[in-house]
């Protein structure tokens, strides 16, 4: 099954609807479909630090850069994913 990703910028909401939501009093918000976070939830919860990325300067062949850029925005993320897969595979071999 494929994962479908959407960005908030892909969702088109009219200015009137945005104003309506922003001016809505808290007591008018429907929370019925959101489970309440009880003590059991907090007992199971784990604190995780975000994975940080480091900016580097890297010299790559023109065709490598072109290959990744051909598929559009996010090419650096895809490059990182390829490198991650390589590192993970090497670690499994060790």
Residue 44 lies in domain? 12-93
Asked whether residue 3 is assigned to any structural domain, the reply reads: no
Asked whether residue 17 is assigned to any structural domain, the reply reads: yes
Asked whether residue 62 is assigned to any structural domain, the reply reads: yes
pTM beyond 0.85: the answer is no
Span 61-90, pLDDT tens digits: 999 999 999 999 999 999 999 999 999 999
Asked whether residue 5 is assigned to any structural domain, the reply reads: no
Asked whether residue 58 is assigned to any structural domain, the reply reads: yes
Banded pLDDT at 7 (limits 50, 70, 90): confident
Asked whether residue 45 is assigned to any structural domain, the reply reads: yes
From residue 27, alpha-carbon distances to 23, 24, 33, 48 in Å are 12, 8, 15, 32
Question: Which residues touch 53 (CB under 8 Å, ≥6 apart)?
Answer: 80
Q: How many domains does the chain have?
A: 1
Q: Is 26 helix (H, G, I), strand (E, B) or coil?
A: helix
- Mean pLDDT on 37-63: 91
Asked whether residue 87 is assigned to any structural domain, the reply reads: yes
Given a cut of 80, is residue 34 above it in pLDDT?
Answer: yes
């Amino acid at each position: 099954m494929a994962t479908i990703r959407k960005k908030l910028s892909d969702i088109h909401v009219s200015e009137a609807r945005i104003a309506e939501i922003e001016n809505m009093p808290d007591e008018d918000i429907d929370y019925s479909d959101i489970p309440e976070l009880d003590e059991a939830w907090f007992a199971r919860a784990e604190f995780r630090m975000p994975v940080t990325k480091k900016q580097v300067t890297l010299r790559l062949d023109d065709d490598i850069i072109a290959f990744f850029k051909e598929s559009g925005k996010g090419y650096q993320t895809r490059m990182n994913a390829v490198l991650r897969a390589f590192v993970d595979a090497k670690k499994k071999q060790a």
